[in-house]
A and B are shown apart, each in its own frame.
Chain A
Amino acid sequence: MTAAGFALRTDGVGKRYRKGWALRDCTLALPAGGVIALVGPNGAGKTTLLRLAVGLLAPSTGTVEVLGHDVTASTPHTLSRIGFLAQDHPLYKRFTVAEMLRFGRACNLRFDQGLAERRLAKLGIPLDRRTGTLSGGQQAQVALALALAKRPDLLVLDEPVASLDPLARHEFMQVLMGAVAEGDVTVLFSSHVVHELERVCDHLVVLNQGRVTLTGDIDTLLAEHRVLVGPRTSTDLDRAGTVVEAVHSDRHTTLLVRDGAIPAAPGWQTQPVALEDLVLAYLRRPSEPGAAVAAEVAS
């Protein structure tokens, strides 16, 4: 995989269901390599975007390109380079773990059975158990082992740890990050949990109400954004539209600004912003002017 390549590129992608638009005007260019987090509240369109990325859905508008190929063509070659772990990590419940691996072998061009067996043995998951009788954490691990055995170039995970207890969650992320460290795989995962992202992710996409509100390399985003604290003011907040969020207390005004490194006005203090606060600020922000419902989502 080339370092300059893109794992996922979308251009003006929209997806409309019968109920309305789940995703609109989504234009993204996510670099190959590293870990990309897709963050947003429930119903923001994360699952839709991920299903579009792996070709499970076709976009209503725009194009989706994965690893340089149009994913809607669904050729065996493209499919074999993508690993997908759907929400709640579905497995055939009446299959044994060994049969799940046989399923993977039967349906893939390349499938590293040994790798999967080693991973499962290390976790103490017996091959002769039916997957339906395993714990949630073990099921997630089986699904992950199955996806990793394809040796994918892009691994897409939809809310991989949302349904797991803290211990299983920790174990899952450990295995996932171990796989990232071992191989040349790009990981794209969605989450509505924003803490701990900084530790595991390189790239961030914030999705709100079907629109991308923020995307970029995490280090760059943190460098571009600052928190300014100064005397309470309600004017002068529209400077080139760089104010992401303004919070007023009795005497102070706190601004989150995206201005690169423009010196602050006299009387204002500058602080770096924490990633979690940055994400929350963008989630609270109306996704388009006049979108009154944004407040409801943020609450």
Chain B
Amino acid sequence: MTWLIWRQHRTEVVVLGLLVGMFGVVLLALGTQAHDLFPGGPARCAGEARVTDACTASFRRLDDEYGYVENLLAAFYLVPVVIGAFLGAPLLARELEDGTWQLAWTQAVPRMRWLAAKLAALAGVTVALTGMFTAVLTWFRQPFDAWEGRFQYDAFDLQGLVPVAYALFAFGAATAAGAVLRRSLPAFGVAFGAFLAARMSVALVARPAYATPLTTREPVPAGGAKDQAGSVPGFADWTIERGYADATGRRLSSAEYSELEAAADQAGTNLNQFLHARGVQRFGVYHPADRFWTFQLVEAALFVAVAAVLTGVVVWRVRRRMI
């Protein structure tokens, strides 16, 4: 079976391997240079220490010289779906398209064993390729993370455990779509659409709710100093919502805030002093940075669970001989 699986899927595996290898080498080369901007490692510049002059200079150079790479990383959102769906779509669909399922399942290897071997091997390749790529990307982003935290959409979604879980989800979706649609290309398309829909809705709606966010409230300082070091939520925390509340803690709508601004203007006083005098507070709703791994685990578990359900559908259809 090992030989057969390799022979049937070697094109996909080799092409994906080359792509991952190519991007990986480029990221390693650029990442080494970016890391060299931080003698002693980028972690030393994270948090409070980032205000030191050396760190500020390093971050400025990082932004100047490698900021464009960081912007390009957004394209790597699609790496998990390309890997997973590319390997999953033909698993059953190509056999059904070419009629070779009748050949494959009338040899002495029972179909369930055939399916188990294929699913295990190709899911394994999916995990290995996505895992390697994610490891390189996670390392590459270390200097950027020290600057921006790991909770932003272009950080959280590209590193840690979740990309592998996304890839397994895409693999499961493509395999199941292939079993139902019996065609590779439409199966790939369906998996792609399902991936985008699931990723967007989870990131925007579900992810903020993995834990109860913390709320901080502090009076508007009369002096008007902004963003002083140690403010909460900090740079690495994930801010869900920010705004102003009145003395009783009731949140102000943007209209109400504009009225206050206009009133301060009319009175000719400094806005901060005006707000301070009225007991207006600044509030922030956020997830602290140390929840990163909890959130990674929750989101990875979510996608792996859906992948397992989709695989279950495939197994059920093949077992019931609905194909």
Contact = CB atoms under 8 A, between A and B. Distances in A.
A58 interface: yes
A79 B99 contact: no
B230 interface: no
Query: Which of the listed residues B1, B103, B105 has the most CB atoms from chain A within 10 Å of its own CB?
Result: B103
Nearest to B107: A107
Interface residues of B, number: 22
Given A58-B320, A95-B7, A102-B3, A107 B109 contact: yes
Interface string A78-100: 01101110111011110100010
A237 interface: no
Nearest to A74: B110
A57 B99 contact: no
Contacts of A108: 107-109
A106 interface: yes
B8 interface: yes
Interface residues of A, number: 35
B106 interface: yes
Contacts of B103: 84, 86, 90-92, 143, 146
Contact of B106 (A75, A79, A109): A79
B321 interface: yes
A143 to B, nearest CB: 8
B111 interface: yes
Interface of A is mostly: loop
Contacts of A87: 99
Contacts of B111: 74
B212 interface: no
Given A74-B111, A76-B109, A79-B108, A107 B1 contact: yes
Contact of A76 (B1, B4, B110): B110
A84 B101 CA distance: 12
Interface in B48-97: none
Contacts of B4: 103, 106-107
A56 B102 contact: yes
B98 interface: yes
B156 to A, nearest CB: 41
Interface in B106-156: 106-112
Interface of B: 1, 3-4, 7-8, 98-112, 320-321
Given A86-B103, A90-B103, A150-B107, 20 more contacts: A55-B106, A56-B101, A56-B321, A58-B321, A74-B111, A74-B112, A75-B110, A76-B108, A79-B106, A79-B107, A88-B99, A103-B107, A106-B4, A107-B104, A107-B108, A107-B109, A108-B107, A108-B108, A146-B103, A150-B108
28 contacts: A54-B106, A55-B105, A56-B102, A56-B105, A56-B106, A58-B321, A72-B321, A74-B110, A74-B112, A76-B109, A76-B110, A79-B106, A83-B106, A86-B102, A87-B99, A92-B100, A102-B3, A103-B7, A106-B1, A106-B3, A106-B4, A107-B1, A107-B4, A107-B108, A108-B107, A108-B109, A109-B108, A143-B103
